[in-house]
Amino acid sequence: MVKINKVKDTVFQISGLYKIYSKKLENDIRSGDIPNHVALILDGNRRWAKRHFALAKQGHWKGADAVENLLDWCEELDIKIITLYALSAENLNRKDEELEYLYELIRRRLEKLYNDPRIHKNKMRVKAIGRVETLPDSIKDVLKRLDEATKDYDEHFLNVALAYGGQFELVDAVKKIGEKIKDGSLDVKDIDKNEIEANLYTSHLPQSSPDMILRTSGEKRLSGFLMWQSAYSELVFMDIFWPEFRKIDLMRAIRTFQERKRRMGK
């Protein structure tokens, strides 16, 4: 787990040494292997708000701003595939004002993304993964337009996990495979790893398995995120709330990734 002493880090940041360190860190990680696919669990919005004596919605708003910054940093570091865990399927069971606010915030940011020239400049395919059919029509409408506008792009990929659950993803994959067996297009003996992956939400990706999965807020679990795809992913847990996330934190996570010995089960 990557730990950050917030007091020391704040003092360091306002000094001239911070820029020097940041530049050196970036040069160092650029000399190593940059992960091609990075997945992030965006955790800690409400706890950040509580710590700052703010409303929960302010934490979510700051978290949404951090996502926009993240897209810039990933572009600068040439990370090709980004998968964001934005809203779990379990969250949809909470019928409260906060969930309605989250729906509206997600809709607004998706609309902003739809009009963002970066997705066209970078040839970025944008796709939601999860049980999207359970989301409000206003969100499904924007997602449909984003999918249509970017369906032919294949240089960069942005996946937004909405109404997502790893167990639900596997259940849905089994159902798709069952339908193929039922209509005669697939024989049971032909079910293998590739067939399962072809029926997951991430089947459109050139690389469905993240090289690195990063979770903020200090929690050390995946919470069902990409259960199949994470089999050999490097896991990095950072003791920082998502709204506070900076480029230097992303670079520290990449440095941790580069220091690992990836044997892929061998």
Closest CA to 72 of 253, 255, 252, 245: 245
CA 2 to chain centre: 18
DSSP secondary structure string for all residues of 57-100: HHHHHHHHHHHHHHHHHHHHTT--EEEEEEEETGGGG--SHHHH
Q: Specify whether the CB–CB gap between 39 and 225 falls below 8 A.
A: yes
Respond yes or no: is residue 69 known to be catalytic: no
Q: Cβ distance 231 to 254 under 8 Å? A: no
Question: Which one is catalytic: 91, 116, 141, 147?
Answer: 91
List the structure tokens of 244.
């506070």
Q: Which two tokens stand for residue 48?
A: 């950040």
CA-angle at 54, arms to 86 and 242, nearest 5°:
35
What is the DSSP secondary structure assignment for residue 222, as one 8-state letter?
A: -
Q: Are 139 and 162 in contact (CB under 8 A)?
A: yes
Q: Note if 172 is an active site residue.
A: no
Q: Which of 5, 28, 33, 43 is catalytic?
A: 43
- Which two tokens mark 21? 């360190």
Query: How many Å apart are CA 202 and CA 130, to the nearest integer?
Result: 10
Q: What are the catalytic residues? A: 43, 91
